[in-house]
Amino acid sequence: MKQFKSLILILIGTFITANSIAQEKVPAKTQIMLGNIFLIYSNGSQKQLTYNESDIEALIVPNSKEVVFIRQVPRRSGSNEYFAHKIMIVDHSTLIEKVITDSKPYLDGLDGTSEILNVGNLTISPDNQFIYFITEKYATSSILAKVNLNSGKWIEFFPAQSFSIVEKGQFKGSFFVGVSEVGAKGRDIYYKLADENGKILKEFESYEAMISFRNEILD
């Protein structure tokens, strides 16, 4: 009987240890500290992924060992100092880093440069194959850019100042966007629902109307 109880205790201890190890290997979130990326596990432990002291945002790629992040690169043009940006990926197992993209496939209308000067609302696509973000292109408008995570190829983009992805329902894969254009209210931000090619599926009177519609279709 004592041997049986001992065996049970050993099995319980083994299960608890295995469960703790499994939990430790589950990434829960990222955190930026002093310009470096840390991976926070579900049990509260952490692992430092980068050591460049110039990283500003990071996202875990679901169902992978990778983290996408933005790195600032200091630049100087005459007396003007500024930051360009690289969008990179790091394997949180090997800590090997790779640049996804560090330049636009065009010269933007504001600064006439192919450097990426702004990266807004970095988002991973629902299929984990692409990233979306807002960056500069036109003199009067930014764009929603779509970039392949593996090749770094800019696949599609269309004018937008803000966006969010519809993740379920009839319009899954479409975007709620705010677009800077001249309309009934003059030059202003107009809110719309667009597909991946920029085709407008629905227009909204206001930001509040767009959010009301979004809540309705996502309930």
- The number of distinct structural domains making up the chain is 1
Domain-located, residue 103 = yes
Contacts of 64 (CB under 8 A, 6+ apart): 128
pLDDT digits (tens, 9 = 90+) for 89-133: 999 999 999 999 999 999 999 889 999 999 999 999 999 999 999
**Ordered mean pLDDT values, 10 residues apiece, the chain (219 residues):** 46 45 73 97 95 97 96 92 97 97 94 94 95 94 95 90 92 94 92 92 96 90
Residue 35 belongs to some domain of the structure: yes
Q: Does residue 71 sit within a domain?
A: yes
Residue 3 has a pLDDT of 52
**The sheet that has 36-41: what strands, in order across it?**
27-33, 36-41, 46-48
Specify whether the backbone of 180 is left (phi greater than 0), alpha (psi in -120 to 50) or beta.
beta
Whether 130 is covered by a domain: the verdict is: no
Q: What is the pLDDT of residue 100?
A: 98
Res 24: pLDDT:
53
What is the structure's pLDDT at 6? 47
Residue with tokens 């983290």: 67
- What's residue 4's pLDDT? 47
Query: Is 84 contained in some domain?
Result: yes
Running DSSP on this structure, what letter comes out for residue 24?
H
Q: Is residue 146 part of a domain?
A: no
Residue 102 lies in a domain: yes
Parent domain of 53: 26-119
- What CA–CA distance (Å, rounded) separates 171 from 193? 9
Q: Residue 47 falls within a domain, yes or no?
A: yes
CA distance 103 to 116: 5
State the pLDDT at residue 190.
97
Q: What is the pLDDT of residue 8?
A: 47
Place of tokens 């803000």: 162
DSSP for 1-56, please give it: -HHHHHHHHHHHHHHHHHHHHHHHTSEEEEEEETTEEEEEETTS-EEE---SS-EE
The pLDDT score that the predictor gives to residue 140 is 87
